[in-house]
Amino acid sequence: MTVLPFDDDEYGDQCAAPDGRPAALTLRCYLPDDEDDRQAVAAMYADYLREGFRETGEAPPGAAVDLRLDTILSCWEGDVVGFASVHTAVWEVDTLYVAPAHRRRGVARALLTAVDRWARGQDRGRGVKARVPVSPAADALLAELGIPKAEYCESDLDTWRAIGDSQLDAIRSDCEHGEDWPADFCTPCYDGWAQQGAEAQVQRHQEDVESLRRMRAEKALRTD
* pLDDT reported for residue 145: 92
**Closest Cα to residue 82, out of 96, 64, 63?**
96
Q: Which pLDDT tens digits describe the chain residue by residue (224 residues)?
A: 343 444 444 444 445 454 554 457 888 899 999 999 999 999 999 999 988 888 877 778 889 999 999 999 999 888 999 999 999 888 999 899 999 999 888 899 999 999 998 888 886 778 899 886 666 678 888 999 999 988 765 566 666 666 666 777 777 777 776 655 555 567 788 888 899 999 999 999 999 999 999 999 988 888 76
- pTM attached to this predicted model: 0.82
Q: Cα separation of 76 and 58, whole Å?
A: 30
pLDDT number for residue 190: 82
Residue 79 half-sphere exposure toward CB, CA atoms < 13 A: 9
Q: What is the pLDDT of residue 34?
A: 94
Is the alpha carbon torsion for 213, 112, 53, 49 positive or negative? positive
DSSP string, 133-197: ---HHHHHHHHHHT-PBPPPPHHHHHHHHHHHHHHHHHHHHH--S---SSSS--HHHHHHHHHHH
Determine how β-strand 79-87 pairs with β-strand 92-98: antiparallel
Residue 13: per-residue pLDDT: 46
- The domain 8-223: what is its CATH number? 3.40.630.30
Q: Which of 95-128 are b and which e, b meaning 16 or more Cβ less than 10 Å from the residue's Cβ?
A: bbbbbeebeebbbbbbbbbbbbebbeeeeeeebb
Residue 54: what pLDDT? 82
Sign of CA dihedral 65, 206, 24, 77: positive
